[in-house]
Amino acid sequence: MHHTHDSGRSGFSTVVVGLLRDVRTLVRQELALAQHEVEYEIGKIVKAVLWFVIGLIMAVIGSITIAAACVLILYEYTGLPAWVCAAIVSMILLGAAAGLMAAGRGIVKSVRFIPVRSIQIMRDDVKWMANWVRTRFV
C-alpha cells in the first residue's frame, strides 16, 4: 500500500513537470507570435510613411514642374487669365496629393499597437490549462 502512494505521488510529479515544460514551450511560442505580430504592424507603419513621402514628393515635383507647363498650356489655349489657369492646375495637383495621403492615412488607421490576436490566444491557453488542471486534480 505504501508503494502505491509513492507511485501516485511520482505520477503527479511527472504530470506537473510535463505541464510546466509545456507551459514554458507555449509561452515561448506565444511570445514569438506576439513579436511577429508587432513586426507586421511596424511594417504597416513603414508602408504608410512611404505612401506619405511619395505623396509629398509628387506634390512638390508636380507643383514645380508640371504645374508651370500646364498653366502655360491652359493660358495659351483657353485665353483665360494666367491666375485662373494657375488655380485650376494647383487644385488638380493638390487633389492628387490628398488622395495619396488619404491612402497612407487608411493604412495608419488599421495599425494595432497591441498584439490583439496573441493576447487572445494566450487568454484561451490559460483558460484551457486551468480547465485541464481542474478536471485532472480537483
What are the residues whose beta carbons fall under 8 Å from the beta carbon of 121, sequence distance 6 or more? 30, 33
| pLDDT at 126 (0 to 100) | 86
Q: What is the pTM of this model?
A: 0.43
Q: What string of pLDDT tens digits covers the 138 residues of the chain?
A: 455 555 666 777 888 888 889 889 988 998 998 899 999 999 999 999 999 999 999 888 877 887 899 899 999 999 999 999 999 988 998 998 899 999 999 888 888 778 888 888 888 888 888 888 888 776
For residue 113, give the nearest of 39, 47, 51 by alpha carbon. 39
